């Protein structure tokens, strides 16, 4: 069981690093536009995700709620 706890810890840390990189990419793209390598499509992809959730009405709202719940739950247990 120790292995599962270690794997969960690693996945949690990777998720947190990924979220920080996404936030950094959004800020970089807002400041410098879409010409920045590696971070060029983050806001486009984020807007596409939000549009998809918005087009699905209540189902998109429920999906967004589940996503937020999972992120909140992960931070509470860390």
Section 55-60 average pLDDT:
78
Residue 46: count other Cβ atoms within 10 Å of its Cβ: 14
> b/e string for 21-42 if b means 16 or more Cβ within 10 A?
eeeebeebbeeeeeeeeebeeb
Give yes or no for residue 59 having a pLDDT over 60.
Answer: yes
Give the angle 4-7-12 at the CA atoms, nearest 5°: 125
Element of type H or E holding 39:
none
Statement: the pTM of the whole predicted model exceeds 0.85:
no
Give the model's confidence band at 78: pLDDT under 50 very low, under 70 low, under 90 confident, else very high.
Answer: low
């Amino acid at each position: 069981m120790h292995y599962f706890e270690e794997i969960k810890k690693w996945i949690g840390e990777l998720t947190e690093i990924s979220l920080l990189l996404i936030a950094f990419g959004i800020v970089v793209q807002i400041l410098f536009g879409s010409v920045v390598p590696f971070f060029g499509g983050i806001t486009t992809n984020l807007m596409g995700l939000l549009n998809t959730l918005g087009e699905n009405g209540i189902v998109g709202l429920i999906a967004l709620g589940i996503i937020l719940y999972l992120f909140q739950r992960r931070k509470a247990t860390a």
